[in-house]
Amino acid sequence: MSVRITEQTIDPAAESAALSHIHNAGALVTFCGICRGEENGEPISALFLEHYAGMAEAEIERHIEEAKARWPLLGARVVHRAGRVEPGETIVFVAAASSHRQAAFEAAEFLMDYLKTRAPFWKKVERAGDGGHWVEAQAKDDTAAARWIRKTDAAE
Protein backbone atom coordinates (compact mmCIF):
# COMPACT_ATOMS: atom_id res chain seq x y z
CA MET A 1 0.00 0.00 0.00
CA SER A 2 1.63 3.23 -1.11
CA VAL A 3 -1.07 5.69 0.07
CA ARG A 4 -2.76 5.91 3.44
CA ILE A 5 -4.95 8.63 4.94
CA THR A 6 -5.40 8.31 8.67
CA GLU A 7 -6.64 10.11 11.76
CA GLN A 8 -3.95 8.28 13.76
CA THR A 9 -0.48 9.57 14.59
CA ILE A 10 2.08 8.98 11.82
CA ASP A 11 5.28 7.17 12.81
CA PRO A 12 7.94 8.36 10.31
CA ALA A 13 10.48 5.73 11.43
CA ALA A 14 8.03 2.87 10.82
CA GLU A 15 6.97 4.35 7.48
CA SER A 16 10.62 4.69 6.39
CA ALA A 17 11.38 1.14 7.47
CA ALA A 18 8.66 -0.10 5.11
CA LEU A 19 10.74 1.17 2.17
CA SER A 20 14.29 0.85 3.45
CA HIS A 21 14.69 -2.83 2.56
CA ILE A 22 13.73 -2.57 -1.10
CA HIS A 23 16.12 -4.58 -3.26
CA ASN A 24 18.73 -2.39 -4.98
CA ALA A 25 17.60 0.83 -3.27
CA GLY A 26 20.58 3.11 -2.83
CA ALA A 27 18.57 6.14 -1.71
CA LEU A 28 15.52 6.75 0.43
CA VAL A 29 14.38 10.36 0.66
CA THR A 30 11.73 11.20 3.23
CA PHE A 31 9.85 14.36 4.11
CA CYS A 32 7.67 15.04 7.14
CA GLY A 33 5.33 18.02 7.22
CA ILE A 34 4.76 19.02 10.85
CA CYS A 35 1.94 21.12 12.28
CA ARG A 36 3.34 24.46 13.40
CA GLY A 37 2.18 26.11 16.62
CA GLU A 38 1.50 29.43 14.94
CA GLU A 39 0.27 30.97 11.73
CA ASN A 40 1.30 34.49 10.74
CA GLY A 41 2.73 35.04 14.23
CA GLU A 42 -0.52 34.02 15.96
CA PRO A 43 -0.69 30.84 18.07
CA ILE A 44 -2.95 28.05 16.85
CA SER A 45 -4.64 25.24 18.77
CA ALA A 46 -4.76 22.75 15.91
CA LEU A 47 -5.35 22.13 12.23
CA PHE A 48 -8.39 20.29 10.99
CA LEU A 49 -8.02 18.47 7.66
CA GLU A 50 -10.90 17.21 5.55
CA HIS A 51 -10.76 15.08 2.41
CA TYR A 52 -12.96 13.03 0.12
CA ALA A 53 -12.34 9.44 1.24
CA GLY A 54 -11.55 7.16 -1.68
CA MET A 55 -11.08 10.01 -4.12
CA ALA A 56 -8.11 11.48 -2.23
CA GLU A 57 -6.31 8.13 -2.06
CA ALA A 58 -6.92 7.47 -5.76
CA GLU A 59 -5.63 10.92 -6.76
CA ILE A 60 -2.50 10.59 -4.63
CA GLU A 61 -1.88 7.10 -6.03
CA ARG A 62 -2.23 8.52 -9.56
CA HIS A 63 0.51 11.04 -8.79
CA ILE A 64 2.74 8.36 -7.30
CA GLU A 65 2.35 6.47 -10.59
CA GLU A 66 3.26 9.65 -12.46
CA ALA A 67 6.38 10.02 -10.30
CA LYS A 68 7.29 6.40 -11.09
CA ALA A 69 6.90 7.15 -14.81
CA ARG A 70 9.17 10.23 -14.55
CA TRP A 71 11.91 8.80 -12.32
CA PRO A 72 13.35 5.31 -11.85
CA LEU A 73 11.69 4.74 -8.48
CA LEU A 74 11.76 1.43 -6.68
CA GLY A 75 9.05 2.51 -4.26
CA ALA A 76 7.11 5.50 -2.96
CA ARG A 77 4.82 6.14 -0.02
CA VAL A 78 2.48 8.94 1.11
CA VAL A 79 0.77 8.96 4.49
CA HIS A 80 -1.47 11.94 5.21
CA ARG A 81 -3.39 12.90 8.31
CA ALA A 82 -7.06 13.80 8.33
CA GLY A 83 -9.12 15.17 11.19
CA ARG A 84 -7.61 17.14 14.06
CA VAL A 85 -3.82 17.59 14.09
CA GLU A 86 -2.14 19.37 16.99
CA PRO A 87 1.08 21.41 16.88
CA GLY A 88 4.15 19.18 16.73
CA GLU A 89 2.32 16.27 15.11
CA THR A 90 3.20 15.02 11.63
CA ILE A 91 0.64 16.06 8.99
CA VAL A 92 2.19 14.27 6.03
CA PHE A 93 4.94 11.76 5.34
CA VAL A 94 6.35 11.38 1.82
CA ALA A 95 9.05 8.90 0.82
CA ALA A 96 10.70 7.94 -2.46
CA ALA A 97 13.19 5.10 -2.94
CA SER A 98 15.51 4.75 -5.91
CA SER A 99 18.89 3.34 -6.82
CA HIS A 100 20.27 6.88 -6.86
CA ARG A 101 19.66 9.98 -4.74
CA GLN A 102 18.74 12.52 -7.43
CA ALA A 103 15.69 10.57 -8.59
CA ALA A 104 14.56 10.02 -5.00
CA PHE A 105 14.97 13.71 -4.10
CA GLU A 106 13.17 14.95 -7.21
CA ALA A 107 10.31 12.47 -6.91
CA ALA A 108 9.74 13.28 -3.22
CA GLU A 109 9.72 16.99 -4.01
CA PHE A 110 7.33 16.47 -6.94
CA LEU A 111 4.93 14.53 -4.70
CA MET A 112 5.06 17.13 -1.95
CA ASP A 113 4.43 19.98 -4.40
CA TYR A 114 1.41 18.07 -5.71
CA LEU A 115 0.10 17.50 -2.18
CA LYS A 116 0.42 21.21 -1.35
CA THR A 117 -1.41 22.41 -4.46
CA ARG A 118 -3.71 19.81 -5.96
CA ALA A 119 -4.50 17.03 -3.52
CA PRO A 120 -8.16 17.07 -2.42
CA PHE A 121 -7.63 18.20 1.18
CA TRP A 122 -9.07 21.23 2.95
CA LYS A 123 -7.33 22.73 5.96
CA LYS A 124 -8.88 24.74 8.76
CA VAL A 125 -6.73 26.58 11.33
CA GLU A 126 -8.20 26.57 14.84
CA ARG A 127 -7.29 29.13 17.48
CA ALA A 128 -8.29 29.17 21.14
CA GLY A 129 -11.74 30.66 21.46
CA ASP A 130 -12.71 30.79 17.77
CA GLY A 131 -14.25 28.51 15.20
CA GLY A 132 -11.19 28.67 12.99
CA HIS A 133 -10.77 29.64 9.36
CA TRP A 134 -10.19 27.69 6.16
CA VAL A 135 -6.74 28.13 4.62
CA GLU A 136 -6.59 29.50 1.08
CA ALA A 137 -4.14 28.25 -1.53
CA GLN A 138 -0.89 30.20 -1.69
CA ALA A 139 0.66 31.51 -4.91
CA LYS A 140 4.16 30.42 -3.81
CA ASP A 141 2.99 26.79 -3.67
CA ASP A 142 1.49 27.05 -7.17
CA THR A 143 4.76 28.53 -8.44
CA ALA A 144 6.73 25.65 -6.92
CA ALA A 145 4.42 23.06 -8.49
CA ALA A 146 4.45 24.74 -11.92
CA ARG A 147 8.05 23.65 -12.54
CA TRP A 148 6.88 20.06 -12.86
CA ILE A 149 4.46 20.77 -15.70
CA ARG A 150 5.85 19.33 -18.91
CA LYS A 151 5.15 20.86 -22.29
CA THR A 152 3.05 17.81 -23.18
CA ASP A 153 0.97 18.32 -20.02
CA ALA A 154 0.31 21.99 -20.82
CA ALA A 155 -0.84 21.14 -24.37
CA GLU A 156 -3.61 18.80 -23.11
Question: With 90 as the cut, is the pLDDT of residue 6 above it?
Answer: yes
pLDDT single digits (tens) 77-102 = 999 999 999 999 999 999 999 999 99
Does the residue 140 lie in any domain?
no
Does the residue 33 lie in any domain?
yes
Does the residue 8 lie in any domain?
yes
Does the residue 11 lie in any domain?
yes
Does the residue 156 lie in any domain?
no
pLDDT single digits (tens) 44-70 = 999 999 998 899 999 999 999 999 999
In the chain, how many domains are there? 1
User: What is the domain extent for residue 49?
Assistant: 3-135
Per-residue pLDDT, 65 = 95
Does the residue 142 lie in any domain?
no
Nearest Cα neighbor of 47 from 97, 103, 85, 89 is 85
The burial of 78, by beta-carbon neighbours within 10 Å (0-12 exposed, 13-18 middle, 19 or more buried), is given as buried
CA 75 distance to own-chain centroid: 15
DSSP per-residue codes, 29-57: EEEEEE--SEETTEE-SEEEEEE-TTHHH
Does the residue 60 lie in any domain?
yes
Does the residue 19 lie in any domain?
yes
78: phi then psi, degrees, rounded to nearest 5: -130, 125
Nearest Cα neighbor of 111 from 82, 154, 145, 143 is 145
Per the prediction, the chain carries an average pLDDT of 87
CATH number for the domain harbouring residue 94: 3.90.1170.40
Who wins on pLDDT, 45 or 120?
45
Per-residue pLDDT, 156 = 47
Question: With 50 as the cut, is the pLDDT of residue 135 above it?
Answer: yes
- Our CA angle for 148, 153, 156, nearest 5°, is 155
Per-residue pLDDT, 152 = 46
123: phi then psi, degrees, rounded to nearest 5: -120, 130
